[in-house]
Structure 1
Amino acid sequence: MSFTKSKPDSVFPADEDAVWPTLRREAEAAILEEPLLAGILQATILDQEDIAAAFCFRLAQRLGGGDLSRMAVRDLSLSAFESEPTLRAALIRDLRAIRDRDPTCRRFLDPFLYYKGLTALEAYRVAHWLWDQGRVTLALNFQSRVSEVFQADIHPAARIGSGVFIDHATAVVIGETATVADDVSILQSVTLGGNGKERGDRHPKIGRGVLLSVGAKVLGNIIVGEGARVAAAAVVLHDVPPFSTVAGVPAKVIARSQDQHQQPAFSMDQIFGDGI
């Protein structure tokens, strides 16, 4: 079974043209609804020149104050976004993924301000940029701070695509050599971990459109194929075929889809579907 990380979509400018003005309108409406939050909404969104600057400001508010000041977190994050344009593109796709897949999300403003899954994921992206720059100690500092604040532990060396939805984020663990393709949905308490003390490439590779349900544990250098569904509390120790559903401890294939375009990450459907 081969694994190829898919490339991000090529329509990001149109996305940002739509998302950023919408986010600003939502902030303006929220100020009228709740004047007590006018200051933070004004400073975080309405006073910022674009979505990247706004997000870096918000990230600094939530992560700053540990080993790094808020100003340091904001400046580092801005440097990452300015140096690596794909970070802005990924932020837009990640934000749209939440809006599209989470039935409780009725506007972009809510995940932008409050959803720790989005903030933890974008903080990982900054840490990954630092890691690639050889600033390993600072990247690990970011990882530690994110784990402390959001209870999500994503190693900065992991490779994660865009359009990824991390729902709730509590107790999510993604290991150093894990790879997550585009358009994956990850629910709370999911672990992409190793299966022992081995070194080197030792973590899972998750294909495009995969849904990892609540409490799923995927362990070792194995592949979860495109369009697969991993059931709640499953312990996956072997490769998962594309477009299949696995469940149990240890996990076994319990269903296969006839739809070779199935991407359960979008539907968030945890019904097993067609039998084997």
Structure 2
Amino acid sequence: MKEEHEDAAEASGKAPRLCEHHTVELNELWQVIRLEAERVACDEPRLQPLVKGVILDQECLGEALSARLSRKLAREDMGREDVQSLLKEVFREHPALVHSAAEDIEAIHSRDPACDSPVEPLLFYKGFAAISTYRVSHQLWKNGRRQLAYYFQSLASEVFGVDIHPAARIGCGIMLDHATSFVVGETAIIEDNVSILHEVTLGGTGKETGARHPIVRSGVLIGAGAKILGRVEICEGAKIGAGSVVLNDVEAHTTVAGVPAEVVGRTEEENPAMGMNQGLVCRRTS
């Protein structure tokens, strides 16, 4: 099944850009997070146990991720120590996952005007926690540990209101803004540097098997409540208006909106995901 999925991913003739480049220097980011965490602990004494346990007592970002996610995901059937131990093992054996998390933190910090520090996504943002949990479940899926991958998917759905199939393929530099009710199907692909708001669905259109979910290329901005259904391709730098239902391919640097979605013009920005401008004012197509 895994091989069929990955073969189908290239059906459009263009290999997906998934974590192609890590631009964030991991140690530098970790030092910034530690400094900010010390400030938070000083300013808010009641948060000291959280900040100390998640960041100040940890040696690296991978350990901090393990500590934070274990606090969120622990349950009676798998306690916090067991979850944290498992996550530390996964991050230690697959350091690319930590680099991907660093890219996600930087994406949130640079694109979200409400985010004042890179420590905030790690401590407080459920969109970041949800995508980080997905990255663990996806790695477990690739390692053949599919029941455990499904377990973490179900936990993320329950805790964060985000349901991403562990077989879906998602790149780095992803911003899930608010994140509630974000749904991604099994064969979906999301490339690097995409921004997505809440209540977005990347779904299928029936019970067919094989490649049946959307491909979202780099630089795309998907507005709140948008539904993209079927094996459609949202090309580079496109913008999907809030509440739209997309049933057909969207060309690069094109803005679509409506139910069903129609082209309303060309995007003003080369990379809408970075600008986060959700307005539909745009250059008309010729």
Report the TM-score range of the alignment, normalised by the length of the smaller protein. over 0.9
- The structure-2 alpha-carbon separation of the partners of 1:11 and 1:212, relative to structure 1 and needing over 3 Å to count, comes to closer
Q: What is the letter of the counterpart of residue 203 of structure 1?
A: H
* Aligned position for 1:274: 283
Q: Deviation per CA, 1:20-72, whole angstroms, max 9, x where unpaired? A: 11110111111111111112211110110101101111100011125321122
* Aligned position for 1:195: 205
* Aligned position for 1:89: 99
- Within-5 A mapping of 1:1-276: 2-8=13-19, 10-12=21-23, 15-257=25-267, 262-272=270-280, 273-276=282-285
Q: Deviation per CA, 1:114-169, whole angstroms, max 9, x where unpaired? A: 10000000000000011011111110010001100110001100000000000111
- The structure-2 alpha-carbon separation of the partners of 1:81 and 1:271, relative to structure 1 and needing over 3 Å to count, comes to same
Q: Which ranges of 4 or more aligned residues in structure 1 deviate by more than 6 Å?
A: none
Kindly state the Cα deviation for residue 227 of structure 1 after the two structures are TM-superposed. 0.4
Runs of 5+ in structure 2 lacking a partner?
1-11
62-71 vs 23-32, which moves further: 62-71
How many angstroms apart in 1 are the aligned matches of 2:205 and 2:144? 27
Q: What is the letter of the counterpart of residue 191 of structure 2?
A: A
Kindly state the Cα deviation for residue 10 of structure 1 after the two structures are TM-superposed. 4.0
Runs of 5+ in structure 1 lacking a partner?
none
How many angstroms apart in 2 are the aligned matches of 1:10 and 1:248? 34
Cα root mean square deviation, aligned: 1.4
8 Å Cα contact 1:230-1:247 kept in structure 2: yes
- The structure-2 alpha-carbon separation of the partners of 1:36 and 1:9, relative to structure 1 and needing over 3 Å to count, comes to same
How many angstroms apart in 1 are the aligned matches of 2:18 and 2:159? 31
Kindly state the Cα deviation for residue 245 of structure 1 after the two structures are TM-superposed. 0.5
8 Å Cα contact 1:66-1:145 kept in structure 2: no
- The structure-2 alpha-carbon separation of the partners of 1:7 and 1:132, relative to structure 1 and needing over 3 Å to count, comes to closer
Q: TM-score, normalised by structure 2?
A: 0.92
How much identity, in percent, do the aligned residues show?
Answer: 44
3-12 vs 62-71, which moves further: 3-12
**Which secondary structure state, in structure 1, belongs to the residue aligned with residue 256 of structure 2?**
strand
How many angstroms apart in 1 are the aligned matches of 2:194 and 2:226? 14
Q: How many pairs align?
A: 273
How many angstroms apart in 2 are the aligned matches of 1:253 and 1:195? 21
Kindly state the Cα deviation for residue 5 of structure 1 after the two structures are TM-superposed. 1.6
How many angstroms apart in 1 are the aligned matches of 2:18 and 2:224? 27
- The structure-2 alpha-carbon separation of the partners of 1:66 and 1:266, relative to structure 1 and needing over 3 Å to count, comes to farther
8 Å Cα contact 2:138-2:168 kept in structure 1: yes
8 Å Cα contact 2:16-2:191 kept in structure 1: yes
- The structure-2 alpha-carbon separation of the partners of 1:3 and 1:216, relative to structure 1 and needing over 3 Å to count, comes to farther
* Aligned position for 2:7: none
- The structure-2 alpha-carbon separation of the partners of 1:193 and 1:118, relative to structure 1 and needing over 3 Å to count, comes to same
